[in-house]
A and B are shown apart, each in its own frame.
Chain A
Amino acid sequence: MPSLGKRILAAALIVLVLIAMNAYMSDEGLFGFGVPPYFARVIMLAGINVILAVSLNLITGFTGQFSIGHAGFMAVGAYSSAYLTVYFGQAWERSLSGIVGGTVAHIVIFLIAIMVGAAVAALAGLLVGIPSLRLRGDYLAIVTLGFAEIIRIVILNIDKVGGATGFSVPGYTNFLWVGAFAIITIIIVYNIVHSDMGRALISIREDELAAEAMGINTTRYKVLSFVISSALAGMAGVLFGHYTQFLSTNDFQFIRSFEIIIMIVLGGMGSLTGAVFGAIVITLLPELLRKLPGDASKYRLVVYSAMLILIMLTRPQGILGTREFGLSWLKRSRKRPEGTQPAGATGVSIAEQGKPSSLDEKKEAENL
């Protein structure tokens, strides 16, 4: 465990880097160096996607519960916080500025919005999770999809948050917030994974029945990780909404959930660094496709799907599998808690053909 001094130093360094990057990306630039707003946008979206990917990885990669409704929780967070900032934000900010000054008021209001977004998303996660998490993989996927659609349709019918025409939202987000919360998310998930709870989650992923037999309350842990994952997604939603400054339910359709899925599949479902990596790559992909001649950008989704199939055919555990890519002192000082098999190849195979290994042959013999 690195010493307290070292950790404070690291934290201070990170904060400095964030502030620098934020200034770098703003209109005035950092000491005269700036980036075109286009790059800034990509970086911001990458940051938000990192939060989404890492949070989905908690429930899908580490707990093994296949949830394809993540966009629904993002939407819940975005809309609930937007309701606050649009209808109450101005008034609160005015009254608060009188006491603590403009910038602090601004920060406090947004912080409250983020907390509210996360809390409401967590509640949604609880409501969705409790009935759904008793279902097996395929069904759970469909049900989460269904719930995300229901959430979307319900929001679409609420006129107070814009309904079909969309909802204009004040722009609170800047890179400082996105970067800070991305790092916070990574820290939260990292700490969960490297704790007792993390071990429980991984054991649930590896073999739920065995975990239950070992006395782990699988329902409790599944619901807990689902709720935390939804809360983080809600947070990402708040940041997203207050960045694009316009909310429309079209941003939260199944395709969004699918994009997050492909981020973690690409990076490796059991790997934190994989999720971050996947998020960044998938955010960059549309931009890279734009560089191609012709009208290649409309093939973006075709490329995603083809990529997904190819990954599944050739390397289902993703690029990093369950390995982490980190600083060596992280690796040496902490034991990696994940199982030894890549996430994509565990579990009972469909035709019970299994990978050629003596254990599987015994299983096959027993099943006949």
Chain B
Amino acid sequence: MDTFVQQLINGLTIGAIYALVALGYTMVYGILRLINFAHGDIYMVGAFVGYFLAFQLGYATGPSLVGLAVVLVGSMIIAALVGMAVERFAYRPVRKYSRMTTLITAIGVSLLIENLFVARLGAAPRAFPQLLREQSYTLFGNAAISKSQILIFAVSILLMLLLQWIIFKTKVGTAMRAVSFNLNSAKLMGINTDAIISITFALGSGLAAAGGVLTAQYNPQIDPLMGIITGLKAFVAAVLGGIGNVPGAVLGGLLIGLAETFVVGYGQNIGVPSTFRDAVAFAILILVLLFRPTGLLGTTVQEKV
């Protein structure tokens, strides 16, 4: 029972991170029908921005809650700006072209960010400074939950509630929903779609960056290629939940996190090597796309000729 609870906690922890990143994917897909391949790299950028902020602002010396808050918010803001810049300069000009062109552009941006960081910073992992005084609490006997895990839960729940509020209780959120429903109609209703698209990118990138900083706190090794696999899994999470569907992204993220942890945790007894951890997400993706391509909470859209 203890291992089960432990696996549950660990699974939900990574699941929460996947959920944060998946939200960005799903929001951008909802309004632009574009899979933002570069989103996973925004997650990485968030972690690195946090890293540099921590050192520049002098918080790297010792654990400090204020430092953590500043680094978190700071990296979210900077990542939001990066996301908006990417949209403005790379995606907006190719919006009028075919899907394949935009897809290729997205891949190009993703690789550009990754390789720029590798070329300038080196591919070797760096240690993210400990901004939280690490401590472990026991639950239900032998299961342990660490402070950084609690932090992840707390911050991600807070951010998701914030996002929910923005989307449903503000004018901007209503505009976002309108744009994702039908871009042209939204334009006709006087909504500045370009601005809304930028805001969507900003929100998604901010969430991803938060995920990056939180992960860096939990697992202090950061490297320029950490966004690839997490980004891919978060994408699978978004697809699993129904791409374009915000609660779906959260559900998908948690499910992928749990699935991954349980398969590796219990699979070791039946001979599944732990290197298959990443394959779990891909396997889920293939199953979802084969049997329920619209995802768990998605709706089928008829293709009109």
Q: Indicate if the CB atoms of B289 and A135 lie closer than 8 Å.
A: yes
Q: Indicate if the CB atoms of A316 and B111 lie closer than 8 Å.
A: no
Q: In chain A between 130 and 173, which residues have their CB closer than 8 angstroms to a CB of chain B? A: 131-132, 135, 137-139, 141-143, 145-147, 149-150, 153, 156-157
If A209-B303, A258-B107, A351-B183 touch, does A368 touch B188 (CB 8 Å cutoff)? Answer: yes
B94 near A: Cβ within 8 Å? Answer: yes
Q: Indicate if the CB atoms of A146 and B32 lie closer than 8 Å.
A: no
Q: Which of B76-84, B134-142, B275-283 contacts A (4 or more CB under 8 A)?
A: B275-283
Q: Which of B60-68, B98-106, B164-172, B257-265 contacts A (4 or more CB under 8 A)?
A: B98-106
A228 near B: Cβ within 8 Å? Answer: no
The interface bits of chain A over 300-315 (1 if a CB of B lies within 8 angstroms of the residue's CB, else 0) are: 0110111011001100
A129 near B: Cβ within 8 Å? Answer: no
Q: In chain A between 98 and 155, which residues have their CB closer than 8 angstroms to a CB of chain B? A: 131-132, 135, 137-139, 141-143, 145-147, 149-150, 153
Chain A residues in 8 Å Cβ range of B43: none
If A64-B100, A301-B111, A302-B119 touch, does A349 touch B289 (CB 8 Å cutoff)? Answer: no
If A313-B93, A313-B94 touch, does A137 touch B100 (CB 8 Å cutoff)? Answer: yes
A337 near B: Cβ within 8 Å? Answer: no
**CB-based nearest A residue for B285:** A146
A29 near B: Cβ within 8 Å? Answer: no
A265 near B: Cβ within 8 Å? Answer: yes
Q: Indicate if the CB atoms of A304 and B97 lie closer than 8 Å.
A: no
B235 near A: Cβ within 8 Å? Answer: yes
Q: Indicate if the CB atoms of A306 and B97 lie closer than 8 Å.
A: no
Q: Indicate if the CB atoms of A350 and B102 lie closer than 8 Å.
A: yes
Q: Which of A306, A343, A349 contacts B96 (CB 8 A)?
A: A349
CA distance A164 to B302 in the complex (A): 46
**CB-based nearest A residue for B110:** A305
CA distance A353 to B193 in the complex (A): 13
Chain B residues in 8 Å Cβ range of A350: 32-34, 95-97, 99, 102
If A66-B103, A350-B33 touch, does A298 touch B119 (CB 8 Å cutoff)? Answer: yes
If A209-B303, A350-B33 touch, does A302 touch B103 (CB 8 Å cutoff)? Answer: no
Chain B residues in 8 Å Cβ range of A316: 94, 97-98, 101, 104
Chain B residues in 8 Å Cβ range of A64: 100
Q: Indicate if the CB atoms of B99 and A308 lie closer than 8 Å.
A: no
B305 near A: Cβ within 8 Å? Answer: yes
The interface bits of chain A over 357-368 (1 if a CB of B lies within 8 angstroms of the residue's CB, else 0) are: 000000010011
If A302-B119, A305-B115 touch, does A347 touch B99 (CB 8 Å cutoff)? Answer: yes
Q: Which of A153, A349, A355 contacts B279 (CB 8 A)?
A: A153
**CB-based nearest B residue for A316:** B101
Q: Indicate if the CB atoms of A265 and B104 lie closer than 8 Å.
A: yes
Q: Indicate if the CB atoms of B98 and A355 lie closer than 8 Å.
A: no
Q: A-side binding surface: helix, strand, loop or mixed?
A: helix
Q: Indicate if the CB atoms of A138 and B103 lie closer than 8 Å.
A: yes
If A135-B293, A143-B285 touch, does A258 touch B98 (CB 8 Å cutoff)? Answer: no
Chain A residues in 8 Å Cβ range of B119: 298-299, 301-302
A348 near B: Cβ within 8 Å? Answer: yes
If A312-B104, A350-B32 touch, does A368 touch B98 (CB 8 Å cutoff)? Answer: no
Q: Indicate if the CB atoms of B112 and A157 lie closer than 8 Å.
A: no
Most chain B CB neighbours (cut-off 10 Å) among A299, A343, A345, A350: A350
Chain B residues in 8 Å Cβ range of A354: 96
The interface bits of chain A over 190-203 (1 if a CB of B lies within 8 angstroms of the residue's CB, else 0) are: 00000000000000
Chain B residues in 8 Å Cβ range of A348: 98-99
The interface bits of chain A over 1-30 (1 if a CB of B lies within 8 angstroms of the residue's CB, else 0) are: 000000000000000000000000000000
Q: Indicate if the CB atoms of A352 and B183 lie closer than 8 Å.
A: yes
CA distance A145 to B235 in the complex (A): 13
Q: Indicate if the CB atoms of B282 and A149 lie closer than 8 Å.
A: yes
Q: In chain B between 103 and 139, which residues have their CB closer than 8 angstroms to a CB of chain A? A: 103-105, 107-112, 114-116, 118-119
Q: Indicate if the CB atoms of B100 and A347 lie closer than 8 Å.
A: yes
Q: Indicate if the CB atoms of A149 and B278 lie closer than 8 Å.
A: yes
The interface bits of chain A over 315-353 (1 if a CB of B lies within 8 angstroms of the residue's CB, else 0) are: 010000000000000000000000000011111111111
Q: Indicate if the CB atoms of B286 and A143 lie closer than 8 Å.
A: yes
Chain A residues in 8 Å Cβ range of B73: none
B191 near A: Cβ within 8 Å? Answer: no
Chain B residues in 8 Å Cβ range of A58: none
Given contacts A146-B285, A308-B105, A368-B185, 18 further A-B contacts (CB under 8 A): A132-B289, A137-B103, A139-B239, A142-B239, A150-B279, A265-B104, A299-B119, A304-B115, A309-B90, A312-B94, A312-B101, A312-B104, A316-B94, A316-B104, A345-B98, A348-B98, A349-B95, A350-B32
A residues at B contact (CB < 8 Å): 64, 66, 68, 131-132, 135, 137-139, 141-143, 145-147, 149-150, 153, 156-157, 209, 258, 261, 265, 269, 298-299, 301-302, 304-306, 308-309, 312-313, 316, 343-355, 364, 367-368
Give the 4 A-B CB pairs with smallest separation, nearest first. A347-B98, A308-B108, A305-B112, A305-B111
